[in-house]
Structure 1
Amino acid sequence: MTFRRFYETWFDHLHHLVDQLTKAPRPATTQEESHKLLQLVHKVMTHCSEYYRVKSLAAEHDVLSVFSAPWSTSLERSLHWIAGWRPTTVFHLVYTESSILFESRITDILRGLRTGDLGDLSPGQFRRVSDLQCETVEEENAITDELSEWQDGASDLIGVCSGLDRKIEQLVRIEQKADDLRLRTIRRVVDLLTPRQAVEFLIAAAELQFGVREWGLNQDRQRENV
């Protein structure tokens, strides 16, 4: 199976998983419901891990195809950072969703009522999110610098083929580092959230992905019809 076919199947199943997340009871009022939320979060994270496992194999086979990402829309590719989404996007999403929910629940919060959702992050959670964001920015910058060095050396390949395999292997490692950071960032954010907050975060992340892809598909169709 080509990665493009895998991605289409994977993306369809993501829709199914998000539908399950959306229908899950929030807040969980029983131990059984809380366990169900944890199971759903685990299923989504396993689904994400499988995506990056298969993508890593695809990169080893043809890393240039992974960078060109023919399974993505033009809009999605314009937003890519090293063949995928930028890891620090996760933190902007957390802050945005938290702010929206906080404003919608501000009356209850001011009355001292805990909502338990993403709008009710504790000071400790905000501190850990901020620390994780700083760590992620440093790793992002290091990988970006590594890719810049790789690109700076591209002129050495002109007219010679002896070093091409080594350069491609370096590019594979850079892409895999970027994907590893993406997956680790999601995992670490989910780990510092409560089950309910994790469900809300994963729904928001998937809806952003769905929205960008749908908009991109519409733009590509319009361009083809011109």
Structure 2
Amino acid sequence: MLFQRFYDTWFEQLRQLVQQLSEAPIPPTTEEHHLQLRQLVHKAMSHYAEYYRAKSAAAKHDVLAFFSAPWTTSLERSLHWIGGWRPTTAFHLVYTESSILFESHVVDILRGFHTGDLGDLSPGQFRRVSELQIETVQQENDITDELSDWQDDTTDILGTKYGDGDRKMEKLAKILERADQLRLKTIETLVELLTPQQAAEFLVAAAELHFGVRGWGIRVDRERGSS
């Protein structure tokens, strides 16, 4: 399908963006480096926004394809929440990366030296991340409840008229769009409260997690296919 071709191209472009972010001077030492990093972070966020715009448009024509997602691996699909990654995963990633980096620089940080990375989040940043996590959990639960209501309402779908079935699919597409909007909003809000260096580190870590799960899933699917 058309979206699968789009996804393959988009995924390869994501690899290129992550490579550029990984090669950027961190920590940035000059104003030119700061500008370069901010531009790369903005470019990465625009890339994610483009993905969700394309997904929303395609889902209006075939929403069920995004629940089976043939362009993903079986492992990726097993981890999906309403057609994609669970938004609260982003907060777990921030906490994990922050903990790893803090432990690696703990001596310097305790001596008062600031590393400027995710291991050096300020108390204000931690507080805001925690608040956002609570808000996101509530929104996740609301969307999950909406999907549950949709599923309850479709128990008699075989007995409905064709037009009624179309309206049910339209409603499902709107639920998927709400979930995708929360996914994008979560990334955007986190990036906004982080410094450009921290945002770059977060985006690289998120993409590497994506690449790792996908690579593992491809191997598992190959093994299942050859068994």
TM-score by length of 2: 0.98
CA RMSD for the aligned pairs? 0.8
Q: What percentage of aligned pairs have identical amino acids?
A: 66
The structural deviation recorded for 1:128 is 0.4
Distance 2:202 2:43 in 1: 14
The Cα offsets for residues 21-47 of structure 1, whole Å up to 9 and x where unpaired, read as 000001111101000000000000000
Please list, as runs of the form range in 1=range in 2, the aligned pairs for 1:79-94 lying within 5 A after superposition.
79-94=79-94
Q: Where does residue 152 of structure 2 map in the other structure? A: 152
Query: Any conservation in 2 of the 1:17–1:44 contact (CA below 8 Å)?
Result: yes
Structure 1 consecutive aligned stretches of length 4 or more whose deviation exceeds 3 Å: none
**Range 153-162 or range 30-39, more displaced:** 153-162
Which stretches in structure 1 are left out of the alignment for 5+ residues? none
Q: Where does residue 179 of structure 1 map in the other structure? A: 180
The Cα offsets for residues 109-148 of structure 1, whole Å up to 9 and x where unpaired, read as 1111111000000000000000101110111000000000
Distance 1:104 1:225 in 2: 42
The Cα offsets for residues 185-207 of structure 1, whole Å up to 9 and x where unpaired, read as 00000000000000000000000
User: Number of residues paired by the alignment?
Assistant: 226
Q: Where does residue 36 of structure 1 map in the other structure? A: 36
The structural deviation recorded for 1:160 is 2.2
TM-score by length of 1: 0.99
Query: Any conservation in 2 of the 1:3–1:55 contact (CA below 8 Å)?
Result: yes
Q: Are 2:47 and 1:47 equivalent residues in the alignment?
A: yes
Query: Any conservation in 2 of the 1:58–1:66 contact (CA below 8 Å)?
Result: no
Query: Any conservation in 2 of the 1:94–1:201 contact (CA below 8 Å)?
Result: yes
Distance 1:219 1:48 in 2: 27
Q: Where does residue 107 of structure 1 map in the other structure? A: 107
Query: Any conservation in 2 of the 1:49–1:183 contact (CA below 8 Å)?
Result: yes
Q: Where does residue 96 of structure 1 map in the other structure? A: 96
Distance 1:34 1:160 in 2: 58
